[in-house]
Amino acid sequence: MNRKWVGSFLIIVLLVFGGWMFFNSPFSTSKQALPAEVKTDGTSILDIGNQKAEERPVKTFSLTAQEKEWRINADKQVEAWTYNGTVPGKPLRVTEGDFVKVHLKNELSVPVTIHWHGMILPNQMDGVPGLTQDAVQPGESFTYEFIANDAGTYWYHSHQHSSKQVDKGLYGSLIIEEKDPAYQKEQIFMLDEWAVDQEKQSLTNMGGMMMGSMSGDGEADTKQMYDTLTVNGKSGNAIEPLQMEAGETARLRFINAGYQQHRLVFPEGSMEVIAADGEKVVTDGTSSNMLEIAPGERIDVAFTRQGEETEVIGEDPTTEYDRGMKIPVVSEKEADSFSYDQLSISSAASQETGTSNGSEELLFKETPESDVTYHMDLSMGMDMGEGMSFQINNKVFPDTPLIPVSEGDVVKVRITNSGRLNHPMHLHGHRFQVASKDGQAYENPIVKDLIHVKPGEEYTVYFKADNKGEWLFHCHDNNHADRGMVTIVDYQGVYSPFKLDGEHSNQP
Ligand code: C2O
Ligand code: CU
């Protein structure tokens, strides 16, 4: 055999193995395999839980999935996939207690769905292809119906091939307003990242490459993948300024629709977190000027404009180079005269993010006894040919071990991250109470549907199995989910009549 060839082969083997070793301590194996054995006993998820409007006010919307050239700013344009031609899709606003009907029409050349992120709704309305419905084929339609029960900030996005479809713009916000809103003024900010100046890089080749350039904040992959940051679909000086007068207070709803965590810095003393993942948090009067928001997460803050001078809310310059995420805060008369380039973000005065005050309403007053216990270990592997894989208990979906529950169970999930990247883990159809971090019980637990688990961290969460169905629990960096980091909360006595792949190309 040719010596040179053997030499380069060895180097490649070393690089790949090195990359793999770098991300994982324990040895693990993985293989993408056939869809999991699906049980077919009991009741179909189509026969449980559907809701009727009855006396409720009905709010009806139409969303059409369509292609659109989307202008991110004066010199950046992308081929986007959109709901109704804009990125984000139009905000859907309803009032708590309303009955919501959304007609989805698919005018794209690929199948799509809509998932209602954070909503507690009937399983068959959850929008997960292959699990709760068949993907909606080109030219076809589907109607989603549910009761908008809890006021708060939610969002919607396609759950078909999400790593691509959400990336290309198939998302928008869903706001459930309180009957009696606490703030007169409010604004939604959906954050995202795009690969505009470069091809989006694939995780297939990143393993070896990332060894040299690991930034250590658990975001190395996304930082390499994307070059442009957007707020409501716009970047840099195309971002719509927030118009407020000095002393005025508004509710700002932040939704991270991207796959990278963002750390937004506010003027000092101007911001207080009031809700996380749609749940009100206890406000203790202390204020941080830094807001960390994980992929998929929603955080609402009360923001007060401090003075007469133009202000800015923007990505922390100490952890991020400038990729265009700055929101100008201007008064009405400054609106046309301020200069975007002169907005300078102060560095964070505090590393505290203000999201750990605990929730106003808890699911459990005290740490409960659990009926089901599941240890979810998150890790990373390398597959020859496939590149990186992202594993739950050393397996990639659909081979990951399910979380089997019976209705009424209290479920305890201990989540550990033994890899080197961040994993925002999101549970569909339920909320969980985060009881402890790294073995330390929280004095004030927080109720959420997404927990950002960073390398080396361990969280224990509890939830009540009170919404029958088949529900995903997965990493909301959908590039990771796409490569395996997904499992299912599987209720006994129900089954999904849908299949992964197959003629509908269902790809959750
Ligand atoms: Cu935003 Cu599976 O969810
Ligand atoms: Cu992840």
pLDDT per position as a tens digit, 324-371: 999 999 998 888 888 888 888 877 666 666 556 799 999 999 999 999
Residue 68: enclosing H or E segment and its boundaries? strand 58-73
Question: How far, in Å, CA of 204 to CA of 396, rounded?
Answer: 15
- Is a pLDDT exceeding 50 seen at residue 13? no
d(CA 116, CA 111): 17
User: Which tokens go with 333?
Assistant: 């008369």
Q: How far apart are CA 380 and CA 407, in angstroms?
A: 32
Total number of domains in the chain: 3
* Helix, strand, coil content of the chain in percent (nearest 5): 10, 40, 50
Residues 112 and 247 in one domain: no
Ligand 1 atom having least distance to the Cα of 157: 1
Ligand nearest to the Cα of 475, by number? 2
**Ion ligand 2, residue ranges at CB < 5 A:** 423, 475, 477, 480
Distance 481 CA to ligand 2 centre (A): 7
| In a shared domain, residues 177 and 196 | no
Please check the confidence at residue 77 and state whether its pLDDT lies above 70: yes
Residues 199, 331, single domain; the answer is yes
Phi-psi region of 161 (alpha: psi -120 to 50; beta: other; left: phi over 0): left
For residues 100 and 211, membership in a common domain is answered with no
Band (pLDDT 50/70/90 cuts) for residue 33 is: very low
Rounded distance from Cα 249 to ligand 2 centre (Å): 35
3 state SS of 8: helix
One domain, residues 229 and 306: yes
pLDDT at 220: 84
Q: How confident is the model at residue 318 (pLDDT cuts 50, 70, 90)?
A: confident
Does the CB atom of residue 480 touch ligand 1 within 6 A?
no
CATH number, residue 416:
2.60.40.420
Domain assignment of residue 310, given as a range: 191-342
- Flag whether 18 is in a domain: no
- pLDDT, mean of residues 269-290: 88
159 lines ligand 1 (CB under 6 A): yes
Maximum pairwise Cα distance, the chain: 79
What pLDDT does residue 82 have? 98
Q: Are residues 452 and 414 in the same domain?
A: yes
Q: Is residue 61 part of a domain?
A: yes
Regarding whether 338 and 207 lie in a shared domain, the answer is yes
Considering 132, 158, 181, which residue would you say is the last residue of a domain?
181
- Nearest-CA residue for ligand 1 atom 1 is 117
Nearest CA to ligand 1 atom 3: 117
Domain edge (last residue) among 153, 181, 209: 181
Cβ–Cβ < 8 Å for 134, 175: no
How far is the C-alpha of 415 from the C-alpha of 438, rounded, in Å? 10
309 belongs to a structural domain = yes
Q: 76: Cβ below 6 Å to ligand 1?
A: no
Residue whose token pair is 């688990």: 453
Q: Give me the pLDDT at residue 386, please.
A: 74
- With a 6 A CB cut-off, is 117 part of the ligand 1 pocket? yes
Is 31 a domain residue? no
428 lines ligand 1 (CB under 6 A): yes
| Rounded distance between C-alpha atoms, residue 211 and residue 507, angstroms | 30
444 and 477 fall within a common domain:
yes
| Together in a domain, 116 and 229 | no
Of the candidates 201, 130, 190, which has an alpha carbon nearest to the alpha carbon of residue 166?
190
pLDDT at 125 over 70: yes
Whether residues 197 and 177 share a domain: the answer is no
Instruction: Establish if 355 belongs to a structural domain.
Output: no
**Which residues share a beta bridge with 318?**
none
Instruction: Kindly state the helix (H) or strand (E) to which residue 24 belongs, with its residue range.
Output: none
Instruction: Count the alpha carbons within 13 Å of 287 in the hemisphere toward its beta carbon.
Output: 14
Co-location of 257 and 319 in the same domain: yes
The one-letter amino acid at 315: E
Closest CA to 335 of 236, 234, 231, 241: 241
Residue 62, in any domain of the structure: yes
Residue 349's pLDDT is what? 65
Q: Is the CB of 426 under 6 A from ligand 1?
A: yes
DSSP character at residue 50: -
Confidence of residue 312 (pLDDT cuts 50, 70, 90): very high
1 assigned to some structural domain:
no
Q: Last residue of some domain: 294, 324, 342?
A: 342
Whether residue 331 sits in one domain with residue 202: yes
Average pLDDT over every residue of 295-319? 92
Look at residue 404 and tell me whether its pLDDT is greater than 70.
yes
- Mean residue pLDDT of the chain comes to 89
Q: Is the residue at 212 inside a domain?
A: yes
CB 298 less than 6 A from any atom of ligand 1: no
